[in-house]
Amino acid sequence: MRELSKSQIDERLVELRNLRTLYAKARERISILETENRDLKQRIKELEEVNKDQCKRIETISFQLEQVSIKLFGKKSVFNRIVEKKEKKERDSYSYQRPIPTNITKTEPHPIKVCAHCCGVLINRRIKIFYEEDIPLPIEKVVTKHEVETGYCSNCRLQSSGYTIPSKVTILGENIKKYICVLSIVSRMSHEQIGEHLEDIFKFEISKGEIGNILCTQAIKLRPEYQALKDSVISQKATHYDETSWEVQKEEHGMYAWVATGTDNNDTVFLLGRSRGKGNISEIGIAKVAITDDYGAYKNPFEEHELCWAHPNRKLRDLAESAEFKEVNKKRILNTYEQFSSLYKRMRKIKEEISPYLKKKFKETFDKIVRSHYLDPTPLSKIKTSLFKNKEKYFTFYKYPGIPIDNNKAERALRHLIIKRKISFGSKTQRGAETTSILASVLLSLKWNNPRNWFQKFMSI
């Protein structure tokens, strides 16, 4: 082996010394970089979590904003409905046939003896019948002059009269008072519209204040019928409950309207000008079996509680129709909606008692649909959580076969009131709200139970 010279040894010692120095500095730098890299990875992970959370929040807020926009401005044509409405069949204007009247007012014969064209003799003559329905116009008001004889008793010195004498010289009859109730509730007219209608058709002048007093007086007379409706509604197999807003200008108790309607018939009770608290349910009447949405006030008052399937179905549909979610989330939402909607349709078709096998199968399907997943967007996760939490209340109809699984009947009952609210903007006073509660309950119950003869029945009360 060749020996190194002293100069070479010195050079190699210098190199070794330099390498040791550089290595120490390199290790120090590498250590710093490794620490920095670890910190950056942790920061990236934190930022990803923040970004993920922000994306979820943005989707949720965007969906909420979209729902508010729809309520304010309506659903635009760009939103495609998931459930397509059936197209209406085109029908000829002459294809509709009116029902044949049963009560004939008068009969008019129209004989013919000779041909209308050439005055020839007619053969095979027979009578053809058709019916003409019309109303008598113009309708004139009836003014009755009462001549009431009075006298004083020679024994007791008290006055007697052949008819009860009112405090005013000119009064209104019962027919016009009840007709005003019909115009206000059934025809949904405001006080101003009622006054214009009576003046245009009957030449009948009446003030808004007088209309209000008439409605209040008639409501007082109908209180027994109102209480009977309350008893009828809560005594049925099950009772639907719902609420909506009802503005009262001089608000005392609240600005909401409540409704309760039974499953056996169309008896309906309204309670207007109240708060949204659960105490109002007690005033309407607490049924043994109630069908409601998942609003908190309905949570505890009832022995048995069936939650409405239509509400979560509509919420899922709105999510599926929203354009504010990413494609991946959209697929998850759409899949959940289709599964729940399919199950809801199958449940609605059930009219009789369900076999134990089907009960188990339906519950298993329900559990599968509402099972949460970490990839679910926040609005979908909230709906699933609520469905899972109240699972047993969605299957109360197992115990009571024949009761509906949705609250559509109560919502249809409120629809009439909502249209009236848009016309008259609610009530001015608490007394007006209570008056509307009684009149709407009695009149609409009569109309919905007996659509053909309700008016005659009301006039006879």
**pLDDT per residue over 34-83, tens digit each?**
999 999 999 999 998 888 888 878 878 888 888 788 777 776 544 455 55
Query: How much of the chain is in helix, strand and coil states, percent to nearest 5?
Result: 50, 10, 40
Mean pLDDT for the stretch of residues 303-320: 93
Question: Which of 396, 409, 404 is CA-nearest to residue 261?
Answer: 409
pLDDT digits (tens, 9 = 90+) for 167-207: 889 889 999 999 999 999 999 999 999 999 999 988 888 99
Residue spans per domain, the chain: 172-308+413-461, 310-398
| CB neighbour class for 118 (10 Å; exposed up to 12, middle 13-18, buried from 19) | exposed
d(CA 138, CA 204): 13
Buried/exposed 7-21: b ≥16 CB within 10 Å, e otherwise: eeeeeeeeeeeeeee
pTM for the model stands at: 0.79
pLDDT at 95: 63
Question: How far is 340 from 155, CA to CA, in rounded Å?
Answer: 85
Task: Please report the pLDDT score of residue 364 as a whole number.
Answer: 92
Report pLDDT digits (tens) over 130-147.
Answer: 888 888 888 888 899 999
